[in-house]
Amino acid sequence: MWHLDKVFNDLTIVAIPTRTNFRGVTVREAALFHGPAGWSEFSPFIEYSDNESEAWLQAALEGAYIPWPQLARDVIDINATLPKVEIDRVPEILNRFPGAKTVKIKIDDFENDNELVEAALDFNPDFKVRLDVNGGWNLETALLNLYNYYLRFGKVFEYIEQPCLDIADLKKLKKEIPMKIAVDESIRKALTSDFADAKDFADVAIIKWAPSGGIKNANKLIKEIGLPAVISSALDTGIGISHGLALAASQSNLNFDCGLATTSLLESDVVIPPLEITAGTISVYRTSPDEKLVAKYLAPADRRLWWQNRIERIWESGFGERWQSEQLN
């Protein structure tokens, strides 16, 4: 039986303030550690259950112990991400994604958020626009809001991400609207589901390295779902983002800009070399923590204990035995 200290080498917890309130998150915490393959990250959001966080731990261990697969490219086109912010802050946020041709905008409804879309298009009239609702609407609300968005902005929308959580609502909505539907929560909150009918309720699959359980599981999931995939992230540090970039780079076909530039929404990253955006792209390479930046954003002792306890609970739930067995086979 491996001791946890041996598995999670140099476990370090960082707490990095965000530049905006990102879905209620103002400080992003992450557990960083390394293994034979390099550095990795475990960072499910605080409110996630141990059960939901297990896939994130699987991804983190894969990142530390398993080399990346063969990569088909060494740079990845990225999208800008615009959280709900004051209108006068839109240029400030979007300037952090130089050269991006696509923008994903977090919204609640048309009445309150259409000005965000307008401000983004004022910043770049050629933007392809994605609206991310995070499953916040039922069918009736989705139809009303999307009708208003389409009436106001026309065909600028590349897709609408997770307008509803209910699959039956998504199936009906897909038949009624002239926009493509992408799904995120419908996938990552149901990883063991049968996605044979995915084409009935979605056009695009949002796939994220950590919630999918790592690169191997993510690629298996993409194949099972059978939809074009957008590789995205979950407000990771540059350690986690590097693995997301590797997932994107492992795709034989990559037809969408990827949501892998979200470190731009953090006050700072903690890695060297930094993951810089150049002409709307980020290069693919493994990253390591920068000692000075880690020291600056080191989490307090009570938060380190909280993360250690979280990892220990998941490990001792049976996950640890399964993982160790896989390493020995």
DSSP one-letter string for 251-263: -S---S-BB--GG
**Number of domains observed in the structure of the chain:** 2
Question: 303-318 burial, b for 16+ CB within 10 Å, e for fewer?
Answer: bbeebeebbeebbeee
SS3 state of residue 194: coil
What is the sign of the dihedral through the CA atoms of 214, 72, 195 and 102? positive
Q: Which of 79, 113, 112 is nearest to 98 (CA)?
A: 79
Average pLDDT rounded to a whole number, residues 124-144: 97
* 284 and 296 co-located in one domain: no
Counting residues of the chain whose pLDDT is more than 90, the rounded percentage is 88
Whether the pLDDT of residue 328 is over 70: the answer is: no
CA 246 to chain centre: 13
pLDDT at 2: 61
Task: Tell me what pLDDT residue 38 has.
Answer: 97
% of the chain with per-residue pLDDT over 70: 97
Same domain, 201 and 234: yes
Residues 35, 90: one domain?
Answer: no
For 272-291, the pLDDT digits (tens) are 888 999 999 999 999 999 99
Task: Convert the pLDDT of each residue in 193-214 to its tens digit.
Answer: 668 789 999 999 999 999 999 9
Residue 61 and residue 174 share a domain: no
Are both 284 and 171 inside the same structural domain? yes
Residue 205 to residue 185: CA distance in whole angstroms:
10
Same-domain status, 112 and 47: no
Q: Per the structure block, which two tokens stand in for 7?
A: 């598995």
Whether pLDDT at 169 is above 80 = yes
Question: Which range, of 57-61, 92-96, 315-319, averages the lowest pLDDT?
Answer: 315-319
* Whether residue 91 sits in one domain with residue 234: yes
pLDDT surpasses 80 at 9: no
Helix residue ranges per DSSP H, 154-300: 167-176, 185-188, 209-212, 215-225, 238-249, 291-296
Task: Check whether 130 has a pLDDT greater than 90.
Answer: yes
**Together in a domain, 272 and 309:** no
Distance CA 53, CA 306 (A): 14
Please determine, for residue 192, whether its predicted confidence score (pLDDT) is greater than 60: no
CATH number of the domain that 49 lies in? 3.30.390.10
Cα 274 off chain centre by: 18
SS3 273: coil
Range 73-79 average pLDDT:
98
Sign of CA dihedral 81, 87, 89, 94: positive
Q: 41 has which bridge partners? A: 32
192 and 309 in a single domain? The answer is no
| Range(s) of the domain holding residue 306 | 4-68+292-328
- Identify residue 229 by its one-letter amino acid code: A
Mean of the pLDDT values across residues 251-261? 96
pLDDT for position 190: 66
- Same domain, residue pair 194 and 134: yes
Collapsed DSSP state (helix, strand, coil) of residue 78: strand
Q: CATH number, domain at 228?
A: 3.20.20.120
For residues 58-85, give the mean pLDDT: 97
At residue 7 the predicted structure's pLDDT band, cuts being 50, 70 and 90, is confident
Mean pLDDT, the chain, whole residue set: 94
Same domain, 300 and 270: no
Among all residues, which ones are annotated catalytic? 106, 208
Rounded distance between C-alpha atoms, residue 293 and residue 104, angstroms: 28
Q: What is the pLDDT of residues 37-65, one digit of tens each?
A: 999 999 999 999 999 999 999 999 999 99
Q: Are both 50 and 100 inside the same structural domain?
A: no
